[in-house]
Amino acid sequence: MIQRLLGPVAPVVVVCLLVGCGGNKSSRKSSTAGAVTSGAQVTAVAPGDGPDVGTNTVQVSLGGFSAPFAVGQDQVLFGTAPLTSVSVVSAGVLEGVAPAGSGSVDVTVVQGNESATLPAGYTYHAAEIVAVDPPQGPPGTVVELTVAYFASDFTQSLPEVRVGGTLVSATALASDRLECTVPAGAGAVDVVVSAAAPAQQATLSAGFTYAGSAAAELVPGPNNPGQRNAQAPSAGLVLAQARLRAYVPLTISELAVRAEGSLDESVGAGDLVLYLDTNGDGLLQTTDVQLGAGAAFPTNNGRVTFSGLNLLLAAGQDLDLLVVGELVGAAEVGRTMVVRLLGRDVVASAPVAGAVQGVELRVVNADPPRQLTVSGPTAATLVAAPADGVDVPAFSAQLSTTAAPVECHGVTLRAVGSADAVRDVRSVTLLIDTNGDGQRDAGDTVLGTRPIEERDGTVSFPVNGLRLASTLSTIDLLAVASFRGTAATGATFQLQLDDARSVVAHTYSGFGGCQINTPAQPILGPQLGLQAASALGLRALAQAPQLAAPQAEVVGLRLEAQAGASGAATVTALTITSRGSLDDVAGIAGVTLYRDQNDDGVLDAGDPALTSSAQFTVDDGALTLTFSTPRQLAAAARETWLVGVELAAGATSGGSFCLGVDPSAAAASVPVHGDAQSGGLVLVSSDRLAFVQPGAAEGKDAYLRGEGLYLNDNFGHTGSLAVGDRPSGQLGERLSYVEFPLPTLAAGAAPTRAYAAFYLLSTGGMVAPAIDVQAFQVIPSGARTPWCEGTGGIDDSGDGICYDGTLQGMNRPDLTQPDVNPTVLSEQSIAVGSQGRWVLFDVTAAVQGWYAGTPNHGLRLRDKLLSNTEGYLSFASSEWGVASQHPILIVEH
């Protein structure tokens, strides 16, 4: 099927004539006199511009001629070239096909002895690429090209698109937008669009910049396993499928596999073997190729390194690997093992990014496994929904069991359809549908609200408490979606649960493990056909942490505004907030909104200011940015805006802030949709910055509960990190552990200051006006370090760090929380109601020691008072659904 390019189709030019009295065709025809200037005039040309190759239809408005226009005898000239295929549309209106030309030309109508000219009445433009969005990113980035002044009808013939000289396939999204995937490359490269008939070419110099240093990445393979039970001894266990994706030619010489879990791998796991998964099916087959010799884990929570691989990958090539292991007879029932492959552990000819978490393998006995069955529709129905709808039912499923007890700990859904799920969907909320009516009601239990993950189009909900205690128990799940109003007319959106790997479950009684059952086909939500809305979607685009020196101007917030497909929007003002340790009144000299003219996310000289500069009048307050001229966006038009922040000369070094925007507070001619969002973290400093912000596959964090029923439970899978106490019922504290990998510093550099940054999700559990949170360095603690993050096992199935692993018959002292250096690294007082901001802890002493060779076992966050009278607060963990809010380790050097 031929798809439509995003450039506008050649415009039609219309010539309009106002015909006077007198004169006739025959008298003009016989005239041999030169043209005579009379009261005739050319009043308008529509459109007034077009492609330089011509071929587009135009109309011209005329007046004052003494006779009608004679087709075939009279002329319309664009410069000196005639309009062709001229016809009379109506009295005073001519239509024809524009000739080729350049620049601005006069439009002249010659009728017999009369003529009239509209000076500079028509302007020719070369075809152009207006924008590439995003303008930077790694190879494999999907970009949209906005083009203009192409004459071809791209619904009949797609153009060629080249990025950095490499031909790529393109798909039309709308009349002026084209989508393609960026190939392998490096640096700033040109983007070229070439049409054949008529021949046109547009080049955007340095239109795309390859960002980041990774030449390849590790991503989960399409058949990467989820949970698995195995009795000991067992061999041939597929523990992970990892996909190596090369963006440039690459040679892989070495990679490592890390192990974590309650199983002592040096005792209970045998040899680990690496295979080339030749057909990518995720199964160990005789045709798969073994890479090197197998090896055993030398220590508990250790790693196995595979050297001498010499794997050669061409640019754009994917390579699937299988990690295969075994359990030996000494593996203890009830223990678990998880393997991880990290891009930073790969030795290659160029850096490799990414991470893969493999199977959660549980050692079981011969008892039958507990069963969790997930059922739901496998055929979709088409349902119309407004593009700005709120809480639209988008998925439903039922949990049940034939062998209780069992508990569901997480659900991951995938977004499919033609809608841009990241842009068009505000959020997805997962609920327990208490009355089973398929609608969100006041009595439904909210399990979580998340945006669609930008990287892979999924939305994950780590949950607690979905317990099926008997075979009579069922739980109805419902997911509802809220939209921004930006979806194109006819766009579709659908949620689906792929298979058993999309569900996390544990049993909390017995040692037969847990088995998850799903239909052979994905469980499908309704296919929502989105009806165009008259609205404005506003969202904050992801930003990395940054350092800014006093008196510098930085981008504190990058916004994307898009009008709905059914109508234009006019914006007159935005409200911006600031949160953080920096005194916004004294530390911020001014805030200005700019139009990001080239969509590069950077303040450039050519980016026009849309507002005058404004200042905060209170710390952690809000200010209104009023557009100097109301900003108008045509239907479906999109712009990016930059909120520039000028730091004052006296901005305190070490102070930090994060800007935010609440779309509902914007002043506009149409409803503005979007959730309150925040920008990137800005830290005041004149040094260089290195940081890490790991996701779920590489991140290591967990919170612990000190109440009686929860002392041996693990919460390593949750999206939050709790700190504080439980002030009623069973009393006890809540504390959190986090361990960061160390970022790579510039050659010869040493850390001068370091911060651990945590995004404050909620203070809703607090009963005191403030909680003082202290950060400590975790120290070597025998078998309790390295500590095990775990995947949420409770009671008998405890599989990771817990408050006390020796209680309730578990007898797992190695899972008890590790010790810390009693010296407080830093302390922050966090007030109730201050959520939605970053909290930074100065951890310089610990980080400097880690770079010097001290074992890195991470940090502990704990309430200073432990009075059981304060309640608790929650930070985002590496499992939290918003990647830009995961914990960050910032190192100045």
Same domain, 739 and 855: yes
Asked whether 645 and 546 are in contact (CB, 8 A), the reply is no
Residues 6+ apart with CB under 8 A from 573: 624, 625, 626, 627, 666, 667
Give the separation between CA 521 and CA 503, rounded to whole angstroms.
15
In degrees and rounded to multiples of 5, residue 28 shows phi and psi of -70, -40
* Residue 104 parent element (H or E): strand 104-111
Sign of CA dihedral 457, 463, 467, 473: negative
For the chain, the domain total comes to 6
- Structure confidence by residue, pLDDT tens digits, 138-187: 777 778 888 889 988 777 778 889 998 888 888 887 767 788 888 767 66
Residues 376 and 500 in one domain: yes
In whole angstroms, how far apart are CA 488 and each of 392, 424, 496? 17, 9, 21
Q: Contact, 127 vs 148, CB < 8 A?
A: yes
Give the H/E segment covering residue 847. Answer: helix 844-851
CA separation for the pair 191, 48 (Å, rounded): 28
Helices (H), 514-574: none
Query: Do both 604 and 680 map to the same domain?
Result: yes
Cα–Cα distance measured from residue 732 to residue 146, given in angstroms and rounded to the nearest whole number: 57
Same domain assignment for residues 355 and 378: no
* The pLDDT of residue 37: 52
Q: Note whether 777 and 823 are same-domain residues.
A: yes
Q: Measured between alpha carbons, how far is residue 337 from residues 172, 266, 492, 611, 788 in Å?
A: 46, 11, 40, 56, 10
Does 1 fall in a domain?
Answer: no
Phi, psi of 79 (to 5 degrees): 70, -115
Give whole-number Cα distances, 507 to 206, 375, 401, 544, in Å: 55, 19, 11, 39
What DSSP string runs through 138-190?
-TT-EEEEEEE---S-TTTSPPEEEETTEEE-EEEEETTEEEEE--S--SEEE
The answer to whether 574 touches 652, Cβ cutoff 8 Å, is no
For residues 239 and 219, is the Cβ–Cβ distance under 8 A? no
Rounded Cα distance, 786 and 779, in Å: 9
Q: Is the CB of residue 844 less than 8 Å from the CB of residue 753?
A: yes
Domain assignment present for 5: no
Q: How far apart are CA 755 and CA 769, in angstroms?
A: 25
- Residues whose CB is less than 8 angstroms from the CB of residue 387 and which lie 6 or more positions away in sequence, other chains included: 424, 483, 484, 485, 486, 487, 491, 530, 531, 532, 533, 535, 564, 565
Separation of alpha carbons 99 and 88, rounded Å: 18
Distance from C-alpha of 58 to C-alpha of 40, rounded to nearest angstrom: 20
The domain boundary, picked from 99, 125, 151, lies at 125
Residues 440 and 568 in one domain: no
Q: Of 461, 494, 529, at which residue does a domain stop?
A: 529
Q: Considering 661, 686, 711, which residue would you say is the last residue of a domain?
A: 686
Cis peptide before 462 (omega within 30 of 0): no
Give the domain extent around 242: 216-364
Quick check: is 2 in a domain? no
Q: Is residue 492 domain-shared with residue 385, that is, in the same domain?
A: yes
Is position 639 within any domain?
yes
- Peptide bond connecting 813 to the previous residue in cis, omega within 30 degrees of 0: no
User: Angle at the Cα of 620 (from 617 to 622), degrees rounded to 5?
Assistant: 55
> Residues 706, 675: one domain?
no
Calculated CA dihedral for residues 524, 528, 529, 534, nearest 10 degrees: -160
CA distance 615 to 603: 19
Q: Would the pTM of this model clear 0.95, i.e. be above it?
A: no
> Looking at the structure, do residues 861 and 884 belong to the same domain, yes or no?
yes
Q: Is 886 left (phi over 0), alpha (psi -120 to 50) or beta?
A: beta
Can the peptide bond before residue 741 be classed as cis, meaning omega within 30 degrees of 0?
Answer: no
Asked whether residue 631 is domain-assigned, the answer is yes
Q: Give the DSSP letter string of 38-66.
A: -S-EEEEEESSEEETT---EEEEEEE-BS
Residue 364 DSSP SS3: strand
User: Residue 343, SS3?
Assistant: helix
Instruction: Compute the 3-state secondary structure of the chain and give helix, strand, coil in percent, each to the nearest 5.
Output: 5, 50, 45
> In this structure, are 203 and 227 located in the same domain?
no
Please provide the DSSP assignment of 641-693 as one string.
Answer: EEEEEEEPTTPPTT-EEEEEE-GGG-EESS-EE---EE---EEE-SS-EEEE-
User: Encoding tokens for residue 778?
Assistant: 């975790």
CATH code for the domain in which residue 572 is found: 2.60.40.10
User: According to the model, what pLDDT value does residue 186 have?
Assistant: 66
Tell whether 460 and 440 lie within a shared domain: yes
Tracing tokens 């959660």 back to the chain, one arrives at 360
Quickly count: other Cβ atoms within 10 Å of residue 823's Cβ: 9
The continuous run of DSSP H or E covering 318 comes out as strand 318-327
Distance CA 471, CA 238 (A): 31
Q: Scan for tokens 């050319």, then name that residue.
A: 42
Tell whether 239 and 167 lie within a shared domain: no
The CATH number assigned to the domain holding 285 equals 2.60.120
Q: What is the CA radius of gyration of the chain?
A: 32
Q: Could you tell me if residue 116 is inside a domain?
A: yes
Q: Is residue 694 part of a domain?
A: no
Segments of the chain scoring below 70 in pLDDT: 1-38, 175, 184, 186-187, 211-213, 455, 465, 795-798, 808-810
Tell me, yes or no, whether 381 lies in a domain: yes
